[in-house]
């Protein structure tokens, strides 16, 4: 039987092909219409929108840091300014390998090896598109080195910035403070947008306290970049219209400080450790604030290395430590004028009553001896003479009569045991002891008892009582004003950098001591004036050849206790265990224009160590035009 044969239907196949062709043509036509419509949308309808987006791919917004405000002394001398400097900056999103890039920069000597970890953390703490400074103040050799290797570092470039400069070096450094690189901790408390492009921030002193006023408002500008992120003038025939928002400079700080007086104080203190604080009693202006030794703030502004910072930290003289605000010491005999005034107010002392100083004082019913100071014995003395000649025996007895409660409550309004409120941070409150304080300070019941001997020591500024040099200067200004106090201030006003308009800050009054009568104040002032005359403790040093009247008080603060049967011999004591030297004074005595406190650590007796420095400071202010 023959096999079935299928005959091919060519017409059917032709019709099927034509149908498919029509469908395919329709699909192609529809897609072509859609493509055309999309092209019209992109190129015509939304042309401006996509032009702006494409511009963003080659136009980068770069922040323009505002110039930091200047700092000037009371006479207009610039003591902190801005100078152009070159720094190395990195944009993380443009860097292919951050770790390798930093290692390579270290290899060519642009980043110290010890700073690699800090640089890595700093970059990581910023946004990926931020330009982060990783090396401040490049010198000519470093700039040339980077220029040779620039092609190896995409995302890294040299920027021109304004860097902080202190033309007088370490002069007044603890008052001014310094600026340093913005750290991770700083980023946690500042507005990052406001600090975009800013590499430095105030760290201490007025630089930190007035950071908001000094910083200003940053601006911005658009720059044209190529595919590598480098800025170019044009791309092809297109020259875009780039916008710029100008920065607004920070306000200038006008200090109450007199740079000439400050320099005299620092020069006179020299290489010795110590502090000098001078205040205008009429308004609280801080004329000079010295802590020695100091350091050069320019080191921090250019980017201090770990080795340099460690050297400062390890220095036995502690140059970073602000002795004027943070150093706490026994006041020594400088507290005696206030004790004398308390005695008059509470009726424990009478101006004309004489007491005999035999060189030793014993508490009633006790065999313990409290010895007189350097002079040994004074014989019969009244209140004024006891202040002028600094008779310890007189004040041992007066303190015992007053009692610790009266002494503590009377001294508190003078600012002891609390901060003065000066307009920079870091101030210590010192320690004003009392029965209540001792109960809280010690855990064992037997240690919480206040003993009469502690009151006796309190009367001459020894024992638990601790003060700062700033507190003593503040206290001296209150004595000068006979009870009126003003909050100490370093900054007296602000100046607009554009218009030059000055905004002055009014003085801020503190507590008023109104318990003493004018007659009682006069008696104490006469005692202090007597310290600079005749047989007074400072007559031979600060009182010599006076052309104006000075009221002052010397003080010697023990660093360690001497046994009752032992005698203090300065020559046999190691230098750092010798007594601290104090001197406080105000002048002219009849109409005070300056109040000074001087501390010389381990400087011995106040009349020889600190008093001559105070005299030089007062001369610089009163005789050279500063106090007019």
Residue with the two structure tokens 């009682």 = 520
Long-range contacts, 96-105 (Cβ 8 Å, 24+): 96/154, 96/155, 98/123, 101/153, 101/155, 101/156, 102/134, 104/152, 104/153, 105/134, 105/135, 105/153, 105/156
Helices marked H in 251-382 — which ranges? 259-269, 298-301, 306-314, 323-326, 336-345
* Gap between the terminal Cα atoms of the chain: 142
Residue with the two structure tokens 């036995």 = 316
Q: Show which residues are catalytic.
A: 333
Q: What are phi and psi of 215, to 5 degrees?
A: -70, -40
Distance of alpha carbon 600 from alpha carbon 618, whole angstroms:
17
Enter the tokens of residue 136. 């401040």
Is residue 574 classed exposed, middle or buried when 0-12, 13-18 and 19+ CB atoms within 10 A define those classes?
Answer: exposed
Is the preceding peptide bond at 588 cis, omega within 30 degrees of 0?
A: yes
| DSSP state at residue 235 | B
What is the radius of gyration, based on Cα positions, of the chain?
Answer: 37
Enter the tokens of residue 268. 């006179």
Enter the tokens of residue 390. 């600094």
Distance of alpha carbon 389 from alpha carbon 48, whole angstroms:
90
Enter the tokens of residue 280. 């205008």
Distance of alpha carbon 143 from alpha carbon 628, whole angstroms:
50
Is residue 120 classed exposed, middle or buried when 0-12, 13-18 and 19+ CB atoms within 10 A define those classes?
Answer: middle
- Residue 460 CB partners (closer than 8 Å, separation 6+): 332, 333, 335, 336, 392, 395, 396, 399
Distance of alpha carbon 218 from alpha carbon 235, whole angstroms:
28
Short-list 556, 600, 618, CA closest to 275 = 600
- Do residues 378 and 355 lie in contact, with contact meaning Cβ atoms separated by under 8 Å? no
- Residue 2 CB partners (closer than 8 Å, separation 6+): none
Geometric angle at alpha carbon 472, from 467 and 475, rounded to 5°: 120
Q: What are phi and psi of 437, to 5 degrees?
A: -60, -45
CB hemisphere CA count around 151 (13 angstroms): 1
CB hemisphere CA count around 350 (13 angstroms): 4
Distance of alpha carbon 479 from alpha carbon 334, whole angstroms:
12
Distance of alpha carbon 75 from alpha carbon 37, whole angstroms:
73
């Amino acid at each position: 039987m023959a096999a079935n044969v299928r005959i091919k239907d060519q017409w059917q196949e032709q019709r099927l092909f034509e149908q498919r062709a029509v469908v395919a043509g329709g699909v192609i036509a529809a897609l072509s219409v859609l493509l055309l419509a999309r092209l019209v949308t992109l190129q015509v309808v939304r042309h401006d929108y996509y032009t702006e987006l494409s511009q963003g791919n080659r136009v980068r917004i770069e922040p323009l840091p505002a110039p930091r405000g200047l700092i000037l002394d009371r006479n207009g001398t610039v003591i902190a300014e801005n100078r152009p400097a070159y720094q190395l900056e990195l944009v993380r999103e443009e860097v292919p390998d951050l770790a390798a890039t930093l290692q390579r920069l270290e290899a060519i000597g642009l980043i110290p090896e010890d700073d690699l970890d800090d640089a890595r953390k700093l970059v990581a703490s910023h946004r990926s598109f931020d330009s982060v400074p990783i090396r401040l103040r490049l010198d000519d050799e470093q700039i040339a080195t980077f220029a040779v290797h620039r092609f190896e570092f995409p995302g890294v470039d040299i920027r021109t910035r304004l860097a902080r400069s202190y033309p007088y070096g370490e002069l007044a450094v603890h008052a001014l403070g310094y600026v340093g690189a913005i750290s991770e901790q700083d980023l946690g408390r500042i507005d990052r947008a406001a600090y975009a492009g800013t590499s430095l921030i105030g760290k201490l002193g007025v630089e930190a306290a007035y950071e908001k006023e000094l910083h200003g408002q940053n601006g911005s500008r658009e720059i044209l970049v190529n595919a590598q992120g480098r800025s170019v003038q044009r791309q092809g025939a297109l020259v875009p219209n780039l916008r710029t928002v100008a920065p607004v400079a920070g306000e200038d700080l006008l200090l109450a400080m007199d740079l000439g007086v400050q320099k005299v104080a620092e020069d006179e203190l020299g290489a010795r450790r110590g502090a000098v604080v001078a205040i205008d009693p009429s308004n609280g202006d801080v004329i000079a604030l010295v802590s020695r030794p100091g350091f050069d703030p320019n080191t921090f502004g250019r980017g201090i290395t770990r080795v340099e910072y460690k050297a400062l930290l390890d220095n036995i003289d502690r140059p970073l430590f602000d002795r004027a605000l943070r150093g706490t010491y026994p006041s020594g005999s400088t507290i005696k004028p206030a004790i004398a005034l308390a005695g008059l107010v509470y009726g424990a002392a009478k101006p004309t009553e004489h007491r005999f100083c035999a060189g030793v004082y014993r508490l009633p019913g006790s065999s313990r001896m409290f010895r007189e100071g350097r002079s040994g014995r004074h014989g019969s003395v009244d209140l004024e003479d006891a202040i002028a000649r600094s008779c310890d025996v007189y004040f041992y007895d007066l303190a015992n009569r007053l009692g610790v409660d009266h002494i503590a409550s009377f001294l508190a309004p003078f600012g002891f045991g609390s901060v003065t409120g000066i307009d920079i941070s870091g101030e210590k409150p010192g320690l004003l002891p009392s029965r209540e304080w001792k109960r809280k300070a010690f855990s064992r019941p037997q240690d919480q008892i206040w003993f009469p001997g502690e009151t006796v020591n309190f009367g001459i500024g020894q024992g638990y009582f601790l003060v700062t040099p700033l507190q003593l200067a503040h206290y001296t200004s209150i004595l000068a004003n006979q009870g009126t106090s003003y909050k100490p201030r370093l900054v007296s006003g602000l100046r607009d950098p554009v218009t030059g308009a000055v905004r002055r800050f009014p003085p801020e009054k503190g507590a008023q001591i109104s318990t003493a009568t004018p007659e009682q104040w006069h008696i104490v002032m006469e005692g202090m004036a007597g310290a600079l005359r005749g047989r007074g403790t400072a007559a031979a040093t600060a009182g010599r050849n006076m052309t104006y009247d000075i009221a002052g008080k010397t003080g010697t603060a023990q660093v360690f206790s001497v046994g009752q049967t032992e005698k203090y011999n300065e020559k046999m004591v190691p230098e750092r265990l010798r007594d601290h030297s104090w001197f406080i004074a105000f002048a002219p005595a009849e109409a005070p224009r300056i109040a000074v406190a001087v501390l010389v650590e381990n400087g011995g007796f106040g009349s020889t160590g600190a008093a001559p420095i105070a005299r030089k400071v007062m001369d610089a202010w009163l005789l050279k035009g500063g106090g007019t």
